[in-house]
């Protein structure tokens, strides 16, 4: 039931009950008061007869005269109960009346001086009110029919009823407008409150309502403003926390007390190899004993310090901490890159040691021979010295390449790009490698497209890259051709060096740009390579924003492709 209807029905019911109470109380009290006044009036009239009834013989005449004057029935009764006069009976009928000494009002008047009674008259047949007063000559009794009083009260009740009905109609109309004025802003407040509860913080109540409803509207308005501000703050904090959580370099997994994963960031998904929306049960996490043990201990309130586990082939540092609500959080740091770097460091130390040990052994052996044996023939001495010089230069090249590689990787060297003509750089490189190529009867040629004759690169870097690539191609090609090809592709220029040499097996191809990596270590050392050239090439090309790729077929040849930015043309 609507509030307006309830208020209206309550108001009408209240008025009706109040009207019924007023009618009931008024009817009873007024009826009693009128009855008392009527008895008092009849007593006064009866006493008035005491002053006029001085002659017993004139009783009937006095009764008739008093009845005509008052309009009431007047009866004069002797002390023995005989009716001496009555305003409604003539003298003949008086004689037929029975003795009135047993009448209640007469009996009370004889005993106490006055009496009254209400009954149906035996002679008249109507209900009458009798009031009797003792007099010196007998009893003076005055009576009146009660029908008139009842009719008076009936008319009064009808008047009150009509007035009550009118009041109810008036109150209904007033109550409808009054309840509408109250319920309309309350309903509006209810709608606003429901909208706020549903998350629509843009709703605001009208502030025009009067009185307490207006105060409530203003309070709801302030509440909505505060909720909006706080929600915006919470959303901003939640967004910030989410971004921070997702941007962690560590994997983070939050588990609640019911063993459901509630939050997991991208790194955590990768390390745990799980996908799908949260929440999901912890059973979907890796079935690793160390991880499950750490999680169980954290859920029981214990702190689990860092321990290393292997998840899906990755080395992971795992830490577990309990949460105040009974859950737990797992933090996982991927140690795989560190372990790879450690392996690279170990391999690097081993490779450098290996690369330097052989020439150092040779140099040391020949030097000891020259020092200890003074009878070495001159020809042999010259050969020993030439070997020492050759291995010393080899070690020097290794050290120089290591220094260059270290300087490039550490950021100590930065390219200074300028516009270069590719044909000029290629000609310089081919001029330097020509003797070695002619010695092996190799054809070295360039194929440069007209739109690829210029690149934007550091002069030293470009010459070093092309020099390393062409030198490698000549070194690993026994017969055939070495080509330098330049082509334009979009905003870049590709410089490719291809040969018809022994080629590189497919399983070795992804690693040829690693430091000291050789497909055939013995053959490479024989030919004088340091194993660092392609690593330097990759770093130099990437420093210019380009990239390097390799394609090869065993026994057919190898092609190394580098990408360089082309000069910016002004329009």
The pLDDT tens digits for 56-94 are 788 888 888 888 888 888 888 888 888 888 888 887 787
* Residues contacting residue 6 through CB under 8 Å, at least 6 positions apart: none
CA 384 – CA 386 distance, rounded (Å): 5
CA 100 – CA 77 distance, rounded (Å): 7
Pairing of strands 443-448, 260-264: unpaired
- Quote the tokens at residue 110: 């004889």
pLDDT at 389 over 70: yes
Pairing of strands 328-334, 251-255: antiparallel
Range of the domain at 535: 418-565
Q: What is the CATH number of the domain that holds 311?
A: 3.30.450.20
| pLDDT, position 12 | 73
Q: Is residue 345 part of a domain?
A: yes
What is the percent of the chain with per-residue pLDDT over 90, rounded to a whole number?
Answer: 9
CA 157 – CA 30 distance, rounded (Å): 11
Question: Both 306 and 330 in a single domain?
Answer: yes
pLDDT at 525 over 50: no
H or E stretch at 553: strand 548-553
Given a contact cutoff of 8 angstroms between Cβ atoms, the answer to whether 529 and 518 are in contact is: yes
pLDDT band at 571 (very low <50, low <70, confident <90, very high): very low
- Quote the tokens at residue 405: 């590689």
Domain count, the chain: 5
Given a contact cutoff of 8 angstroms between Cβ atoms, the answer to whether 13 and 6 are in contact is: no
Which is more confidently placed, 1 or 333?
333
Question: Both 26 and 131 in a single domain?
Answer: yes
CA 567 – CA 375 distance, rounded (Å): 64
Q: For residue 552, what is the DSSP state? A: E
Question: Both 85 and 138 in a single domain?
Answer: yes
Which is more confidently placed, 220 or 455?
455
> What pTM does this model have?
0.44
Contacts by residues 511-519 (CB-CB < 8 Å, ≥ 24 positions apart): 512/550, 513/537, 513/538, 513/548, 513/550, 515/348, 515/351, 515/405, 516/347, 516/348, 516/351, 516/352, 516/355
* Across 159-168, 175-184, 541-550, least confident range: 175-184
Q: 525 exposed, middle or buried (CB, 10 Å; 0-12, 13-18, 19+)?
A: middle
Cis status of the peptide bond prior to 192, with omega within 30 of 0: no
pLDDT band at 497 (very low <50, low <70, confident <90, very high): very high
Across the chain, mean pLDDT equals 81
pLDDT band at 326 (very low <50, low <70, confident <90, very high): confident
pLDDT band at 208 (very low <50, low <70, confident <90, very high): low
| pLDDT, position 301 | 87
Question: Both 72 and 11 in a single domain?
Answer: yes
Instruction: Out of 218-227, 315-324, 506-515, give the one with best mean pLDDT.
Output: 315-324
* Across 137-146, 151-160, 270-279, 331-340, least confident range: 151-160
Q: Is residue 215 part of a domain?
A: yes
Burial 478-511 (b: 16+ CB within 10 A, else e): eebbbbbbbebeeebbbbbbbbbbbbbeeebbee
Domain-ending residue, one of 409, 436, 459: 409
Q: Is residue 433 part of a domain?
A: yes
CA 62 – CA 56 distance, rounded (Å): 10
What's the rounded mean pLDDT across residues 347-354? 70
Domain-ending residue, one of 241, 266, 291: 241
| pLDDT, position 522 | 47
Q: Identify the three-state secondary structure at position 556.
A: coil
| pLDDT, position 4 | 60
CA 531 – CA 514 distance, rounded (Å): 8
Question: Both 104 and 221 in a single domain?
Answer: no
Q: Identify the three-state secondary structure at position 68.
A: helix
Placement of tokens 């329009």 in the chain:
571
| pLDDT, position 559 | 92
Q: Is residue 174 part of a domain?
A: no
Q: Is residue 186 part of a domain?
A: no
Question: Both 272 and 382 in a single domain?
Answer: no
Given a contact cutoff of 8 angstroms between Cβ atoms, the answer to whether 332 and 253 are in contact is: yes
pLDDT at 494 over 80: yes
Q: What is the DSSP string of 472-494?
A: HHHHT-SSSEEEEEEEEETTEEE
Domain-ending residue, one of 95, 116, 151: 151
Question: Both 258 and 130 in a single domain?
Answer: no
Cα–chain center distance at 1: 35
Q: For residue 352, what is the DSSP state? A: H
Q: Is residue 158 part of a domain?
A: no
CA 145 – CA 228 distance, rounded (Å): 81
Question: Both 404 and 327 in a single domain?
Answer: no
CA 221 – CA 215 distance, rounded (Å): 10
Question: Both 440 and 554 in a single domain?
Answer: yes
Q: Identify the three-state secondary structure at position 64.
A: helix
Question: Both 349 and 489 in a single domain?
Answer: no
* Across 3-12, 213-222, 546-555, least confident range: 3-12
pLDDT at 569 over 90: no
Q: Which of 401, 554, 569, 421 is nearest to 495 (CA)?
A: 421
**pLDDT, tens only, 418-460:** 999 999 999 998 988 898 888 888 999 999 999 999 999 988 8
Q: Is residue 422 part of a domain?
A: yes
Question: Both 81 and 220 in a single domain?
Answer: no
pLDDT band at 282 (very low <50, low <70, confident <90, very high): confident
Give backbone dihedrals phi and psi of 141, rounded to 5 degrees, phi first. Answer: -120, 135
* Residues contacting residue 427 through CB under 8 Å, at least 6 positions apart: 446
Question: Both 483 and 545 in a single domain?
Answer: yes
| pLDDT, position 484 | 93
DSSP strand E in 270-354: where? 280-281, 304-311, 314-322, 328-334
What's the rounded mean pLDDT across residues 253-272? 87
Q: Identify the three-state secondary structure at position 508.
A: coil
**pLDDT, tens only, 134-162:** 988 888 888 888 776 677 677 777 777 78
CA 243 – CA 276 distance, rounded (Å): 19
Q: Is residue 163 part of a domain?
A: no
CA 492 – CA 451 distance, rounded (Å): 11
39, 129, 154 from 148: Cα distances, Å? 14, 11, 10
Placement of tokens 């998350």 in the chain:
199
For 418, what's the count of Cα atoms within 13 Å in the CB-facing half-sphere?
Answer: 8
Q: Which of 230, 187, 135 is nearest to 4 (CA)?
A: 187
pLDDT at 133 over 70: yes
């Amino acid at each position: 039931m609507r509030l307006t209807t309830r208020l209206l029905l309550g108001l009408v019911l209240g008025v009706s009950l109040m009207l019924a109470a007023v009618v009931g109380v008024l009817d009873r009290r007024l009826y009693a008061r009128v009855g008392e006044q009527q008895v008092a009036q009849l007593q006064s009239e009866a006493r008035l007869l005491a002053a006029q009834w001085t002659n017993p013989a004139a009783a009937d005449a006095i009764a008739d005269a008093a009845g005509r004057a008052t309009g009431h029935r007047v009866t004069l009764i002797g002390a023995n109960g005989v009716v001496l006069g009555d305003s409604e009976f003539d003298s003949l009928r008086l004689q037929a009346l029975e003795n009135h000494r047993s009448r209640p009002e007469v009996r009370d008047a004889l005993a106490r001086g006055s009496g009254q009674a209400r009954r149906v008259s035996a002679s008249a047949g109507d209900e009458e009110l009798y009031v009797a007063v003792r007099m010196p000559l007998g009893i003076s009794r005055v009576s009146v029919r009660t029908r008139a009083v009842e009719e008076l009260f009936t008319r009064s009740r009808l008047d009150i009823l009509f007035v009550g009905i009118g009041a109810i109609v008036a109150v209904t109309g007033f109550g409808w407008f009054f309840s509408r004025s109250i319920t309309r802003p309350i309903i509006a407040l209810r709608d606003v409150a429901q909208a706020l509860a549903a998350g629509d913080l843009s709703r605001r109540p009208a502030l025009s309502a009067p009185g307490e409803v207006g105060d409530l509207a203003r309070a709801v308005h302030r509440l909505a403003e505060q909720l909006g501000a706080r929600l915006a703050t919470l959303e901003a904090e939640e967004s910030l926390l989410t971004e921070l959580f997702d941007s962690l370099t560590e994997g983070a997994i939050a588990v609640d007390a019911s063993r459901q994963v509630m939050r997991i960031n991208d790194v955590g998904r990768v390390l745990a190899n799980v996908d799908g929306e949260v929440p999901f049960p912890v059973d979907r996490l890796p079935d690793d004993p160390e991880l499950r043990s750490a999680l169980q201990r954290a859920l029981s309130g214990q702190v689990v310090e860092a321990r290393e586990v292997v998840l899906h082939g990755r080395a992971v540092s795992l830490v577990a901490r309990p949460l105040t609500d009974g859950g737990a959080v797992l933090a996982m740091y991927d140690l795989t890159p560190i372990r790879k770097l450690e392996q690279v460091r170990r391999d690097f130390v081993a490779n450098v040691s290996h690369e330097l040990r052989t020439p150092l052994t040779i140099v040391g052996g020949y030097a000891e021979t020259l020092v200890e044996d003074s009878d070495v023939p001159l020809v042999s001495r010259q050969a020993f010295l030439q070997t020492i010089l050759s291995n010393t230069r080899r070690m020097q090249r290794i050290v120089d390449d290591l220094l260059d590689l270290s300087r490039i990787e550490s950021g100590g060297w930065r390219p200074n790009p300028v516009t270069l003509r590719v044909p000029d750089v290629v000609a310089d490189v081919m001029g330097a490698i020509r003797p070695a190529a002619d010695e092996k009867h190799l054809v070295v040629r360039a194929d440069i497209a007209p739109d690829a004759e210029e690149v934007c690169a550091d002069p030293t870097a470009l010459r070093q890259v092309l020099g390393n690539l062409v030198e490698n191609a000549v070194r690993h090609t026994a017969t055939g051709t070495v080509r330098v090809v330049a082509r334009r592709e979009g905003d870049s220029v590709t410089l490719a060096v291809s040969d018809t040499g022994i080629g590189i097996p497919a399983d070795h191809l992804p690693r040829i740009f690693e430091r000291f990596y050789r497909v055939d270590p013995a053959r490479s050392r024989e030919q004088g390579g340091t194993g660092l050239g392609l690593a330097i090439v990759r770093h130099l090309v990437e420093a210019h924003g380009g990239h390097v790729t390799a394609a090869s077929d065993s026994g057919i040849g190898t092609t190394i492709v580098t990408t360089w930015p082309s000069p910016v043309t002004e329009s």
